[in-house]
Amino acid sequence: MDAELSTRLVSRTSAAVQASPHTMRRTHTIVVLVALIAAACAAARGPDPRAMSGFLDDYSRLRPGGAGELPFVYRNPDAHWNEYSKVLLEPVTLWRSGRHSLDPIAETDLLRLVSDFEAAIRRRLGDGFQLVDQASPGTLRLRLAITEARASDPALDVLTAVGDARADRSDGALSPELGQFVAAAAIEGEIRDAQTNALLAQGIDRRRKDSPAITTWAQLDRALEFWVDRTCARLEARTGRR
């Protein structure tokens, strides 16, 4: 009798805590919805500013780009792009976490990288815009940097190529350390009205993880030219310059 009662009590207790199939389905639906909402919110967020270099003044506007866009992008919805026909290009810089963070890479290689990038941009921009060195009506101010640093690092160092760093024009192999840097680095950029300083657009780009490795200077120069051509073509299309 006692054993029988005990069995019945256990069975009743188990039945009491067992949810009905309808309740289980509803709970599962709620869990799935919450997970989808959380994933959507995470996807809509921009990059963590602590993981970025600090080159851009404000990363909070950035959102993941769509198909064919940069990984993170912002465009001012009130910008009148067709009013611009000139570009003031600031010197391209390289941001690193302290002067010694890239010690394994020869500084001449870093200078060549920055110099080649800036030269490619100037050549390509000149196809569709008037390049100027003074702000005036209808002028875009373009800032670009190659970054491999975080704003939270104890020290930051900014490297700028002065003049044309073309002492060694070998198209041979990159050092393994420079190849790793190119794979990990980001390109950060912003476009402002040169007169009012109003922010028109900004973005962050980096190589996809499944991209083929860049192992020679010739490959690196082609990759820079490709990036510059694509970016300038977008700017030309937005401003009606083509």
Average pLDDT, the chain: 83
For 18-49, b where at least 16 C-beta lie within 10 A, e where not — what string?
eeeeeeeeeeeeeeeeeeeeeeeeeeeebbeb
pLDDT of residue 11: 33
Rounded distance between C-alpha atoms, residue 118 and residue 92, angstroms: 6
| Position 117, amino acid | F
Query: pLDDT tens digit string along 155-214?
Result: 888 999 865 555 556 789 999 999 999 999 999 999 999 999 999 999 999 998 889 999
pLDDT of residue 156: 84
pTM of the model as a whole: 0.78
pLDDT of residue 25: 56
pLDDT of residue 141: 98
pLDDT of residue 10: 35
pLDDT of residue 168: 56
pLDDT of residue 140: 98
| Class of residue 2 by CB neighbours under 10 A (exposed 0-12, middle 13-18, buried 19+) | exposed
Structure tokens at 157: 């160092």
Rounded distance between C-alpha atoms, residue 7 and residue 173, angstroms: 78
Structure tokens at 170: 């070998």
State the 10-residue block means of pLDDT for the chain, 242 residues long: 40 41 52 43 70 93 92 97 97 89 91 94 96 97 94 84 63 94 96 98 93 95 96 95 80
